[in-house]
Amino acid sequence: MGSDQHYSSRAEAQRRADEIRSFERELQALETEGVLALSEPQRAAVSAYHRGLLERYAGEFDIDRDIDAKQMSLGMRIASLLGALALAASVFFLFYQFWGLFSTASQVAVLLLAAAGSFVVTWWIGGRDASGYFAKLAAMVAFACFVLNITMLGSIFNITPSDKAFIVWAAYGFLLAYACDLRLLLGAAILCLVAFIAARTGTISGMYWLHFGERPENFFPAAVLLFIFPSLLQHRRHPDFPAVYRILALLVLFLPMIVLANWGEASYLPFSDGVIEVIYQLLGFAGTAAAIWLGVRRQWPHVVNTGVTLFIVLLYTKFFDWWWEALPKYLFFLVLGLTSVLFLLVLRRLRTALKAAPA
């Protein structure tokens, strides 16, 4: 029997364990239906091989070996998330509660020690926590301490606010997210990066960086970069990270389009508000439809689901804009229902066509 594949992350090992459980269920079904019957030596060899793999993965990565353990892990992830948010908020309010009691030198020392200490504690816990739950909790606290550090040091020394803080926060967030395999922190780092790129885009047009949110089109360059990035970098140790990039990219791209489809005066385009709104309505519908098609084509369910959600949001907001006052309420909701049915039929036809196409 060939050597088993070595995995370098908990996610890969957990996926292999899930495949083993699926194989065992399918093998049992095949034997029950009389399609396949393994001899006793073969069954014993397969069972011993899988048992050895599961024991090794459980020792190295603390994987969930059965459904009960998987359900317990879900509860642990929720508890870890809530605990991380609560501890980060506690650190934030603790600083503000007693901040005025310290001298300037003490304030600087406390900030530096909090940022450096939380970072060291995160790495120390990460080396001893195979499950990763406590390391992720510590990473969230470390990120909160770092953001607080930069913000309050700027306040202490009366430094002019700058969009460069976003890129520093983003870099630190990416470091912790990839080190601790933490999607929530990855999302926070991505949002910091989006804010930096949008602010820089706004300054090119001559506006002050703090006002970058007044022009939704400032977010478009960041959205394009985020969507392309997962295809340029291997995420073998972090297989769930590309989905985070793509989902946030679609949100950063299409939510501003939805805003501009209803509020054309916020656009850079030199047209009337009505023309701008029509342009972004067409771009929104075409773009979300293209995202759905691409998601089905590439087998990216997260892209399909996000595209469908954004398409429906855009469609229903325009329905309210066009017909809420013009149609009787029963007819308005009938149109909504029939539109949903039509949308389901179109998606089913698209899925069938793509499944029938050659790979």
pLDDT tens, residue by residue, 284-295: 999 999 998 898
Task: Please say if the pLDDT value at position 7 is more than 70.
Answer: no
Greater pLDDT, 230 or 38? 230
Q: How many domains does the chain have?
A: 3
- Please tell me whether residues 158 and 188 are part of one structural domain: yes
pLDDT tens, residue by residue, 264-287: 899 999 999 999 999 999 999 999
Mean pLDDT of 308-327: 83
pLDDT tens, residue by residue, 156-200: 777 888 889 999 999 999 998 998 888 888 999 999 999 999 999
Please identify, among 190, 214, 238, the residue that sits at the C-terminal boundary of a domain: 214
Check if the beta carbon of residue 280 is closer than 8 Å to that of residue 262.
Answer: no
- Please tell me whether residues 198 and 223 are part of one structural domain: no
* Structural domain contains residue 2: no
Question: pTM value?
Answer: 0.76
Mean pLDDT of 18-42: 82
* Structural domain contains residue 79: yes
Give the range of the structural domain holding residue 233, as residue numbers without chain letter: 216-359
CA distance 57 to 53: 6
* Structural domain contains residue 203: yes
pLDDT band at 89 (very low <50, low <70, confident <90, very high): confident
pLDDT tens, residue by residue, 20-30: 888 888 888 88
Other beta carbons within 10 angstroms of residue 245's beta carbon come to 21
- Please tell me whether residues 129 and 242 are part of one structural domain: no
Task: Please say if the pLDDT value at position 126 is more than 60.
Answer: yes
Please give the full DSSP string across 276-321, using - where no structure is assigned. HHHHHHHHHHHHHHHHHHHHHHHT-HHHHHHHHHHHHHHHHHHHHH
